[in-house]
Structure 1
Amino acid sequence: MELRRRPFLTDPGETLLLSESALDSALRLADWREATGLDLNRIVLDGLTAVPLPLYMATPPGPRQFSEVTPSMLWHPLFWLPPRLANRYAGLPTGEGGAPEVESNELWSIRVGLELAISGLYSEEEGWLDILSTLDIDVDDPADVARIAAWQAGSPDEVLDNIDLDQYLHLQGNPNWALESALSLLEPFTEAQWALRANSLIDMILEVTDPTARSGAKELRDTIGVAATLAGVQFAGLPDEDAAGFWAQIEDQAKNGLFPNQGSFMSGPVLEANSWLHRVRDAYWGTLDELQTLQTA
């Protein structure tokens, strides 16, 4: 069977690390849930990758890890991470004052993204390697899908039981290279992600407030409400900011606020939202520029 690559969620030329759009992040989460059947409690929601990541958990004997996933989606390499990559490191000096703590979602997501990108399991141009196609299993064949479903339910399968992505991953010399890289990238990637998402929300608001767009009051309010919902979640970790409280207020004003005309809404919640987003973008855009300079050096 010919090896396959499948585009899924990302666009051609898109890197696996960092998400450029706050709205795309939310839409991709919805698409990921629909395609995989995963509940939110099995998805990493605060990672620093362009796509959602499945959350690995301890499983009892019997059903497999991700037994609830739509069988035809098990072609995806994210469902076959080896234990050293699927599991979290403990005792990392990332807590306050260097206190030891378990690897965070953000740090883990960088580590996973680095390994999958460097190994070629994810290609910016062609998408994801279909892992099952390397084993002559075709998720477009109903018989093979039934085989996968039986394995998910606990039936033995010599081929599926022995999938090991370490054969693709670069471990020579230093098996901890991705962790070491992720530790050094955690702070700049976090700041760059804030800058990118703030910029995308500025663009979203600009599109609807541009006079040539001739947006009506409802469209304007709806857009600000969506932007506020996204920002309240995606900027929750921002230091020295009550992002959740600020954006909850903006969202409430967009949905329920009484304004005598569109101009007063523009000079109130819209201006406040824009000012907040510009402040965050400007504060962290330099970090993004530095990362891009390093990538092209």
Structure 2
Amino acid sequence: MPIRYRSFLGIEPATNPIAVTSLEDTLLRSSRFTQETGIPHSQIVVSPAFFVPIPIYSPTENRRAWPVKPEAMWHPLMWLPDRLAAPVSVENPTTETSQRESAEEYGVRVCYELANSAPFLFAHKWWVRLEDYAGVPIHPYDKDETGADIVPDAIYDPSATYILRPADGRDTGTLLPIYNQAEGTWLDVPYLVGVDTQSRDGVERMRAWLVGMPDEALDSLNLDTYLLAGDRDPNWAMNRFYRLIDQSAIGGEVDGTLFMDTIIDTAHMSTLSDLSVWLEQAKSLMGEDLQDGRDYTSFTRENFTAYSGLPHGGKLFTEIDAAFQEALTESEPVETLTRIQGMFMDVARELATQAELYNLCLETLLRDTMIELLGLLHV
């Protein structure tokens, strides 16, 4: 089976798939994605919470639900299996209710799974992530002499968790890195069955297949062949993100948080900070040319609406949007823009706690993983 990896959107080696990106980088990658794939912006999911736009899959009689250039069909995002092709309903342990993933949450889950399904190397051995916490007890808190909670050394009972397992023969030749983080490259999917979309013949073959012509090799492609590990829950990435992480060490009444919530809130905090900087640029432009300043303000408003994370129709969103409207009609809008900046930063400061929780979540996840690794290595 031939295997090839290719660069995409200028992603650099070692780029984390769910590291928060700047709003500017997010927009640049979004624009480049639509240019390279032919998929319109209205049919992709974009967020600073993850590093690459994701096509929106929907029921269709065609091979794909969106117009796509045949030469772009090499990319794994064009071949997502059904279980990764749409947001799903998840249980929220903080409310004990089920709710549908947001588009941003869905994107985080997909990007993480594509980057982490394959075995990884540690201590000269290969390991497969499981993230299996089903039925695993959480360590109870002890009390110190003042009656305050003492955070346990491990959140989940390490004798019962199954965060990972050694890789074995079941995984050899089947689990492939879909996104190779070390190189910043992606698996060329049709190349696995001998279709090279970098050649004229390969492009024409893909074009014919997209319009409905049968092709045994392309018909056989199923990305889950390279994603699903033996004895691993197909929803393993959901298990990672939609479970409580004990964060009482942060103080106050914070006993736990969903890892996913901290990722999304951190992205929104970063976005609001970026928007505040853009408004500073708008104010500078106002002093040179009022129309240029208004154009930049309007651009900032569009991205506030799309990426701030504030609920549309909510009190704060409505207040900020009305202030933008004032700034776009005033002859002296600098004071109003400064007021909007203040509202942005007020929300960003409120989200700063979540950013701290995000870092603590990462530390907790790393600690729990190391505890299990050392146990499996009998160290």
Shorter-chain TM-score bucket reads 0.7 to 0.9
Question: Which residue does 1:179 correspond to in 2?
Answer: 238
Q: CA deviation at 1:203?
A: 3.1
SS at match of 1:30: helix
* 1:200 matched to 2:267: no
3-state DSSP class of the match of 1:100?
Answer: strand
CA contact (8 A) 1:19 1:51 kept: no
Following TM superposition, the consecutive aligned residue runs of length 4 or more in structure 1 with deviations greater than 6 angstroms are none
TM-score, with normalisation over the residues of structure 2? Answer: 0.66
- Match in the other structure for 2:145: none
State the AA in 1 paired with 2:315: D
Name which of 319, 323, 326 aligns with 1:253.
326
- Counterpart in 2 of 1:123? 180
Give the alignment partner of residue 140 of structure 1, picking from 198, 207, 211: 198
Query: How far apart, CA to CA, are the structure 2 residues paired with 1:94 and 1:9?
Result: 36
Relative to structure 1, the CA distance from residue 145 to residue 247 in structure 2 (aligned partners, 3 Å threshold; closer, same or farther) is: farther
Structure 2 residue 64 is the aligned partner of structure 1 residue 6:
no
Q: Which amino acid aligns with 1:162?
A: S
Q: Does 1:188 align with 2:255?
A: no
The question of whether the paired residues in 2 share the 8 Å contact of 1:17 and 1:49 is answered with: yes
| CA deviation after TM superposition for structure 1 residue 186, in Å | 2.3
Which residue is 1:24 aligned to?
25
> In the aligned structure 1, how far is the partner of 2:184 from the partner of 2:91?
37
2:17–2:111 Cα contact (<8 Å) kept: yes
- How far residue 178 of structure 1 moved from its aligned partner, in angstroms, is 0.6
Higher strand share goes to which structure? 2
Structure-2 separation of matches of 1:88 and 1:250: 33
Q: Which moved more, 1:178-187 or 1:69-78?
A: 178-187
Q: Residues 75-224 of structure 1: matches in 2 within 5 Å?
A: 75-90=74-89, 92-94=90-92, 97-119=95-117, 120-124=177-181, 125-169=183-227, 171-175=229-233, 176-184=235-243, 185-206=259-280, 217-224=290-297
Match of 1:33 in 2: 34
Tell me what 1:269 maps to.
Answer: 336
SS at match of 1:258: coil
Separation in 2, partners of 1:93, 1:156: 40
Matched residue, 2:346:
279
CA drift at 1:153: 0.8
- TM-aligned CA distance change 1:6 to 1:290, over 3 Å: same
Deviations, residues 188-235 of structure 1 (Å, cap 9, x unaligned): 112111111112223333456579xx8654444433332222112212
Q: Distance in 1 between matches of 2:65 and 2:114?
A: 19
- Structure 2 gaps of 5+ residues are 118-176, 244-258, 367-379
Q: Is the 8 A contact 1:236 1:243 kept in 2?
A: no
Q: Deviations over 1:234-269 (max 9, x none)?
A: 12445995354234334323432222xxxxx33x22
Corresponding residue SS for 2:91 = coil
Residue type of the partner of 2:270? L
Q: Which is greater in Rg?
A: 2
Give the Å deviation of 1:88. Answer: 4.2
Distance 1:289 1:39, change over 3 A: same
Partner Cα separation in structure 2 for residue 18 and residue 253 of structure 1: 35
For 1:155, what is the secondary structure of its paired residue? coil
Q: Which residue of 1 aligns with 2:162?
A: none
Q: CA deviation at 1:282?
A: 1.2
> In the alignment, does 2:350 pair up with 1:291?
no
Alpha carbons of structure 1 residues 78 and 164: separation in structure 2 relative to 1, 3 Å: same
Deviates more, 1:45-54 or 1:130-139: 45-54
- Say if 1:220 and 1:13 are closer, same or farther in 2 by CA, change over 3 A: farther
Shift of 1:112: 0.6
Q: Which residue of 1 aligns with 2:131?
A: none
Cα distance, 1:218–1:103 mapped onto 2, change above 3 Å = closer
Q: Calculate percent identity across the aligned residue pairs.
A: 23
Shift in alpha-carbon separation, 1:58–1:208, aligned structure 2, 3 A: closer
In structure 2, how many angstroms separate the alpha carbons of the residues matched to 1:103 and 1:293? 23
Q: Which amino acid aligns with 1:111?
A: R
Q: Deviations over 1:144-189 (max 9, x none)?
A: 1110011011111111111122233253433221111132332111
Cα RMSD for the two superposed structures: 3.2
Distance 1:205 1:255, change over 3 A: closer
| Paired residue total | 287
Q: Deviations over 1:28-52 (max 9, x none)?
A: 3333223222234532356842222
In the superposition, relative to structure 1, how do residues 28 and 118 fare at CA in structure 2: closer, same or farther (>3 Å)? same
User: Which has the higher relative contact order, 1 or 2, with Cα contacts under 8 A spaced 6 or more apart?
Assistant: 1
> What are the ranges of 5 or more consecutive residues in structure 1 without an aligned counterpart?
260-264
Deviation at 1:130, TM superposition (A): 2.0
